[in-house]
Chains A and B, each alone.
Chain A
Amino acid sequence: MDTTQTLSPTRQRQRRAQWRRQALTLALLAVGLVAPFVAYPVFLMKVLCFALFACAFNLLLGYAGLLSFGHAAFLATGGYVTGYLLASYPGLTPELGILTGTAAAVALGALFGVLSIRRQGIYFAMVTLALAQLMFFVFVQSPFTGGEDGLHGVPRGELFGLISLNSNLAMYYFVFAVFLIGFAIIQRAVHSPFGQVLKAIRENEPRAVSLGYNVDAYKLLAFVLSAGLAGLAGSTKTLVFQLASLTDAHWHMSGEVILMTLLGGVGTLFGPLVGAGLVVSLQHLLAQSPLGNWVSVILGLIFVVCVLSFRSGIVGEILKSYRKNFK
């Protein structure tokens, strides 16, 4: 196996990066498999759902450079559709419920994507925020969401009609599998030619246009993909907690996912995972402490600190120092 010697230095570096990624993914897989025996499975499932949500968001911000301030709408759409279907049709299996919820988020993503990519930069953020607020009011007023009360007692059911998800351990492994599928889709998309074009658009949109790329089509596809995965996260979360509520549709949620991504590292594969883990843990810890009511203030402070002096995020900083020391 002397192939490495015939490869160019660039190609060699790419190879090494690929190996590193694979090693990290394997380590992650191992940690994920033993985790429920070490930590509380419901907490882990929450982390995984939000990690998938943040990864989906990061696909849009980190790779296409589009800051969406309305991702809560997709999370909530997935959750509500799945919750409503599973609660109303007892014969429906959970995987079908999740798929339908995801499909609904994809459809909504296509609609919002077409509208919001008509404006750029700061306006894009405002349009997505306004559209998500529109959905919030729709959810408040529609009969099927249960309004202010939300949906409760959504049955977890039996996966493929065979495996009962009522035990938290079984549920955990299902959520872990869903997360891995979503993560794999994102990783594949980012390292494909499609992902390269997205990065080119992020770096210099007019140039990408002049190179002949149909920039709007790429942006729309990225938007729909991100919305769909956010919907998948929402659907799965509804199944875990057996409820869907307006909290998921509120603009605070859109802000939280931005914070997770920013804290972990925008544009890094593992950053959103780290960020989601930290933010969820923090909320969990604060909820039990006397500071419980100050969560939103503390999140706001982290936001400010991140923007002022920690813009690469945790994973981004680690990558930076690694590159400095080992290259």
Chain B
Amino acid sequence: MTMIFGVPLAVFMGQLLLGLINGAFYALLSLGLAVIFGLLKIVNFAHGAQYMLGAFVALLGSRYLGLDYWLALLLVPLVVGGFGMLIERLLLRRIAHLDHLYGLLLTFGLALIFEGALINLFGVSGASYPIPEALQGGVNLGFMFLPIYRGWVLVAALAVCLFTWFMIERTRLGAYLRAGTENPALMQAFGVNVPLLITLTYGFGVALAAFAGVLAAPLYPVSPTMGSSLLIVVFAVVVIGGMGSILGAVLTGLAMGLIEGLTKVYYPEAANTVIFLVMILVLLLRPAGLFGKEA
């Protein structure tokens, strides 16, 4: 059997794949955070809870309404994203003129509410969501065994990241968004409905989180606390990459997932902490972040 630094190739590749999939989730979530941060200038602490809500709505939909996975993948982001727009319209807008730290605190409170309420209703242990029939099983690639669902998650996450990049960098709406990020007051003077743009942007960011949640539902136990611990890692990823560039957020997310996977192979004790250690290193060497352009 081929060995890589004393580890069988299949194990090595397997962990690398797991890392890459985690990385895809980091990428999707930090992308959503970056999109929201760009226009609203707030860090959405409820992002983890909204990811969790995505998984939960999919689970409950399949349990009580017979909602199938593919439909959930389409509908759940719309539902949770719409809920996000409501939050923006009713709550975040009232404090938009204040120090942006208040946005962080408000969304933190929301995260506590969502998480706490779902723990009371469903407990912490978590439920499993079946892998859709079409994506069950796996293929043998010769050097490793690839479960089809994991391959699909990777492809779907990257496709959505690419789609987001295209939307923001290559379409008219995206141009408005970028202009709004630079100077919202001027945009408004030009007759663009900036408040609507802000609502849509927040809704889109939340929908990205919910989409990640649906993707994650068949992979991880669906539990109320699945979002919060993930979100803190994503914060570290955001500090490492900076929130200035979309491509930067995606690349940093994937790279951190890979590093985590590699650590799991060679020094499993540090797998939980390695991303935070990378963050410390980046703070020391490049305080503005790898892709950041902070003054």
Contacts and interface: CB of A to CB of B under 8 A. Distances in A.
Interface of A: 67, 115-116, 118-123, 125-127, 129-131, 133-134, 137-138, 141, 251-252, 255, 258, 262, 293-297, 299-304, 306-308, 311
Nearest to B272: A137
Contacts of A293: 119-120
B236 A300 contact: no
Q: Closest 3 A-B residue pairs measured CB to CB?
A: A303-B109, A300-B112, A296-B116
Name the residue among B94, B102, B239 with the largest chain A CB count within 10 angstroms. B239
A304 B103 CA distance: 10
B284 A311 contact: no
Nearest to A256: B112
A299 B117 CA distance: 12
Contacts of A295: 116
Given A129-B235, A130-B239, A304-B113, A294 B106 contact: no
Given A127-B283, A297-B113, 12 more contacts: A116-B283, A119-B239, A126-B239, A130-B235, A131-B280, A134-B276, A251-B228, A300-B109, A301-B109, A303-B112, A304-B91, A304-B110
Nearest to B106: A307
Nearest to A206: B295
B232 A301 contact: no
B159 to A, nearest CB: 28
A131 B239 CA distance: 11
B43 A126 contact: yes
Contact of A297 (B94, B106, B117, B228): B117
Contact of B101 (A67, A127, A138, A303): A67
A134 to B, nearest CB: 4
Given A122-B100, A300-B109, A300-B111, A307 B232 contact: no
A134 B115 CA distance: 22
A137 B111 CA distance: 22
Given A133-B232, A134-B273, A308-B95, A122 B101 contact: yes
A298 to B, nearest CB: 8
Interface string B234-276: 0110110000000000000000000000000000010011001
Judged by DSSP, the binding face of B is helix
Nearest to A302: B109
A138 B273 contact: yes
Interface in B61-120: 91, 94-95, 98, 100-102, 104-106, 108-113, 115-117, 119-120
B126 interface: no
A118 B115 contact: no
B287 interface: yes
A257 B233 CA distance: 21
A130 B112 contact: no
24 contacts: A116-B283, A121-B101, A122-B100, A122-B101, A126-B43, A126-B235, A126-B238, A130-B233, A130-B236, A130-B276, A131-B276, A133-B233, A134-B277, A255-B108, A255-B112, A293-B120, A296-B119, A297-B112, A297-B120, A299-B109, A300-B110, A303-B105, A304-B109, A308-B106
Contact of A299 (B98, B106, B112): B112
A127 B279 CA distance: 8
Contacts of A130: 232-233, 235-236, 239, 276, 279
A126 B235 CA distance: 6
Contacts of B98: 311
A118 B284 CA distance: 8
Contacts of A297: 112-113, 116-117, 120
Contacts of A302: 109
Contacts of A134: 273, 276-277
